[in-house]
Amino acid sequence: MSAPNPVSAYPVFRSVVTAFREWAHKSKVIRQCRQQFDGTDSYELTRIAKDVGLSPSELRQMAKLGPNAVKQLLDRMAALRLDPEVIAKTAPITMRDLQRLCSACARKKLCQRDLILDRDDPVWRQYCPNAGTLGALQSDDARAR
């Protein structure tokens, strides 16, 4: 007779193990992407930066921040009922500026907290570097409807 599996007997433990595995996998993927990015020669890096409308140093900085660097921007846009895909197609330079400012923002934790507690509380407009642009996009969207 075999011993019971402690992981299946404790669902909380199982969820912690699963979360750790997912984190480890994401970390590995991010590390591999950074290694590939770091291995890119300067000509290719300059070409990629130009394609996305950034300087090579801005591209390097954004790459260091990882894939969730603009999560709060996307969450805020959802709260404002703005479609990031539409904005990226109709105003790509504006979308890049929004992403660049959000990725470099020092108030990410405050923003995330405000999004969780009350998405509709206008307090975020006091500290968000994208408040003016998001407000203008929201006004444009309202006029278009």
Residue 140 has pLDDT above 60, yes or no: yes
State pLDDT tens for residues 110-126: 999 999 999 999 999 99
Residue 53 confidence (pLDDT): 76
3-class state of residue 11 by DSSP: helix
Return the domain boundaries, the chain. Answer: 70-145
Calculate mean pLDDT across residues 56-73: 80
Q: Which DSSP string do the residues of 56-110 spell out, in sequence order?
A: HHHHHHHHHH-TTTTHHHHHHHHHTT--HHHHHHH-HHHHHHHHHHHHT-S-HHH
Percentage of residues in the chain having pLDDT higher than 70: 86
d(CA 135, CA 34): 34
Residue 7 has pLDDT above 80, yes or no: no
Calculate mean pLDDT across residues 102-106: 88
State pLDDT tens for residues 70-99: 889 999 999 999 999 999 999 998 998 998
Residue where the block lists tokens 């291995």: 39
